[in-house]
């Protein structure tokens, strides 16, 4: 009874929200001669004194709807003001198109101009623009085909991430964004403070007195939700975080952002092999979801941005990832005879050129490397019996490099504490983390997936600043 009422209300509300026909639906419709109302933004207008054609886009799909206007029966001044970028509403008849290039079109009865776009100053032209230029007008670039496609895909991937984990019975955990711990020691952090920078309270030895700050201690924006994810995994079983992450590194590359989104599953009872299985299944699910749900956008990107995109996505979905140890990778690199700029030897971290060689030249396939030397990996990783490696795993993708970094976690209290002391970390500040190993500890594993790096791969875009609506990078926080 209650359920029926809800459905009824929901339908009424949806009707009110959708006080127009959506172009995505109209392009599939065969209800010819029916009257429709469409609203959207003009991409191009062309024609002559008799007939004009408006390509209308409402964001629901990459394709435009052709509006046919019988010029003599419309106000010339109104038509003059309908230019690229203008927002209009059109009432008319949906008909089979007389011209080539589209199945259906709308013969306009009336056209209402909601908002003009002065062609003298509107920055988007009918011609293509460079991505660098569009970055400078990020508030308008969503109106282009490419960025419309990218952000529809971004939405679909975010949705698919929640769907995957929800269907798996995992719980979405909101890790804090403000944190007092610098747990991973992963690079520079953004300070969060309400202290007046021009009048800082000082302690007796002339240092900033953070006890006077909002939280009574120094705080920062999070660089990872992993440690909190571990706490929850050891109660809820399987959890994942999906939220913004902040790194104040002065990184100027097409693969780094100061503010990015990260997905971090953390799963109790999973060892490193379960972890690899999860990572591979997860990535394949997401890519397959894009192929099944975003094909129009992918086809556009395939034709305009990256000719091998769809082929590459299908390849990843259909092939097993190569799994091997760090040691095995070193042996392959040493035996390759390839001349690398940086040295290869056991104990040194792999450089970008080494990872690229393995993925793009040697295996030509995604690769998962495990069991890295403990000295080059984080303190929380499960220590192997050989005393010199840890159960880390990096998933390496073509074009992207490291798309996932993760590990089985050290669940043994004594070993974890020894490692924390060995690295000179502030063990007192990690009391809560160590408590999970004091009480009811168990094998568990997890990893971090950079959302924008996933999007780089799925969209074929080359620069990470072009897969997030408003990128934050050194010297740039515009919009």
444-450, strands of its sheet edge to edge: 171-172, 238-246, 259-268, 444-450, 401-408, 389-397, 367-373, 322-325
User: 409: which DSSP letter?
Assistant: B
Q: Is position 382 an interface residue for RNA (rule: CB under 7 A)? A: no
Question: By C-beta, is 212 or 362 nearer to RNA?
Answer: 362
The Cα–Cα gap between 184 and 192 comes to 18
Q: Is position 72 an interface residue for RNA (rule: CB under 7 A)? A: no
Q: In sequence order, what DSSP letters do the residues of 258-314 get, joined into one string?
A: SEEEEEEEEEET--HHHHHHHHHHHHHHHHHHHHHH-HHHHHHHHHHT-TTHHHHHH
The Cα–Cα gap between 233 and 406 comes to 15
195-203, 317-325, 348-356, 381-389 -> range binding RNA (CB under 7 A)? 348-356
**Segment (H or E) for 245:** strand 238-246
The Cα–Cα gap between 51 and 59 comes to 25
Minimum distance of RNA from residue 293's CB (angstroms)? 23
| Of the candidate residues 6, 11, 47, 334, the single one contacting RNA (CB under 7 A) | 47
Q: Is position 472 an interface residue for RNA (rule: CB under 7 A)? A: no
Q: Is position 119 an interface residue for RNA (rule: CB under 7 A)? A: yes
Interface of this chain with RNA, residues 247 to 276, rule: CB under 7 A = 247, 249-258, 260, 262
Interface of this chain with RNA, residues 279 to 338, rule: CB under 7 A = none
39-47, 108-116, 277-285, 327-335 -> range binding RNA (CB under 7 A)? 39-47
Beta strands in 336-443 (DSSP E): 367-373, 389-397, 401-408
Interface of this chain with RNA, residues 389 to 448, rule: CB under 7 A = 401-405, 448
Interface of this chain with RNA, residues 171 to 210, rule: CB under 7 A = 184, 186-187
Could you tell me if residue 59 is left (phi over 0), alpha (psi between -120 and 50 degrees) or otherwise beta? left
Minimum distance of RNA from residue 2's CB (angstroms)? 44
Interface of this chain with RNA, residues 210 to 249, rule: CB under 7 A = 224, 247, 249
12-20, 51-59, 272-280, 419-427 -> range binding RNA (CB under 7 A)? 51-59
86-94, 96-104, 155-163, 365-373 -> range binding RNA (CB under 7 A)? 96-104
Could you tell me if residue 300 is left (phi over 0), alpha (psi between -120 and 50 degrees) or otherwise beta? alpha
Question: By C-beta, is 47 or 176 nearer to RNA?
Answer: 47
Question: By C-beta, is 33 or 414 nearer to RNA?
Answer: 33
């Amino acid at each position: 009874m209650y359920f029926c009422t809800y459905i009824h209300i929901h339908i009424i509300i949806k009707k009110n929200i959708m006080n127009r026909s959506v172009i995505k639906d109209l392009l599939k419709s065969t209800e010819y001669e029916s009257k429709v109302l469409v609203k959207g933004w003009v991409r191009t207008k062309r024609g002559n004194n008799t007939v004009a054609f408006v390509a209308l886009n409402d964001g629901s799909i990459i394709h435009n709807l052709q509006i046919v206007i019988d010029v003599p029966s419309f106000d010339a001044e109104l038509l003059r003001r309908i230019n690229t970028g203008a927002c209009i509403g059109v009432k008319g008849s949906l008909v089979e198109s007389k011209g080539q290039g589209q199945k259906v079109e709308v013969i306009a009865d009336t056209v209402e101009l909601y908002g003009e776009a002065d062609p003298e100053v509107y920055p988007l032209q009918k011609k293509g623009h460079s991505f660098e230029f569009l970055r400078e007008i990020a508030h308008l670039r969503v109106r282009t085909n490419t960025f419309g496609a990218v952000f529809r895909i971004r939405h679909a991937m975010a949705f698919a991430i929640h769907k995957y984990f929800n269907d798996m019975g995992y719980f979405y955990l909101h890790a804090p964004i403000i944190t007092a711990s610098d747990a991973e020691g992963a690079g520079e952090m953004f300070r969060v403070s309400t202290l007046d920078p021009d009048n800082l309270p000082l302690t007796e030895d002339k240092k900033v007195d953070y006890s006077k700050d909002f939280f009574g201690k120094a705080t920062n924006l999070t660089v990872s939700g992993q440690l909190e994810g571990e706490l929850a995994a050891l109660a809820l079983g399987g959890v994942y975080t999906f939220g913004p992450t902040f790194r104040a590194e002065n990184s100027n590359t097409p693969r780094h952002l100061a503010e990015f989104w990260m997905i971090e599953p953390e799963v109790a009872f999973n060892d490193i092999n379960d972890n690899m299985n999860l990572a591979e299944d997860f990535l394949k699910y997401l890519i397959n979801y894009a192929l099944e749900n975003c094909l129009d956008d992918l086809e556009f990107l395939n034709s305009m941005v990256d000719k091998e995109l769809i082929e590459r996505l299908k390849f990843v979905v259909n092939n097993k990832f190569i799994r091997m140890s760090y040691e095995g990778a070193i042996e392959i690199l040493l035996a390759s005879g390839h001349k690398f700029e940086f040295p290869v030897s056991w104990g040194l971290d792999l450089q970008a050129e080494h990872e690229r060689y393995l993925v793009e030249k040697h295996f030509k396939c995604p690769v998962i490397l495990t069991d890295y030397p403990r000295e080059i990996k984080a303190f929380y990783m499960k220590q192997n019996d050989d005393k010199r490696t840890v159960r880390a795993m990096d998933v390496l993708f073509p074009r992207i490099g490291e798309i996932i970094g993760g590990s089985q976690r050290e669940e043994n209290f004594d070993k974890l504490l020894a490692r924390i002391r060995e690295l000179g970390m502030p063990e007192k500040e990690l009391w809560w983390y160590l408590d999970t190993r004091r009480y009811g500890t168990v094998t568990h594993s997890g990893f971090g997936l950079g959302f924008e790096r996933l999007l780089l791969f799925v969209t074929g875009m080359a620069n990470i600043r072009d897969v997030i609506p408003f990128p934050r990078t050194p010297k740039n926080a515009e919009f």
